[in-house]
Amino acid sequence: MPIYTLNLIQYITLIALSVSAGYILHGIVRAIKKGDFFD
């Protein structure tokens, strides 16, 4: 059971990292398209 819990925690952490990385990349791409990135 502890192994399953550990895998579940790692899975949730991986999802959280993927989501936050996706938001960051999306924000950078939007800034570049608007021209605000290279101020």
- The pLDDT tens digits of the residues spanning 8-25 come to 899 999 999 999 999 999
Q: How far apart are CA 4 and CA 7, in angstroms?
A: 5
The whole-angstrom distance between residue 37's C-alpha and the CA centroid of its chain comes to 20
Determine the residue type at 34.
K
pLDDT of amino acid 19: 97
Q: Is the pTM of this model over 0.85?
A: no
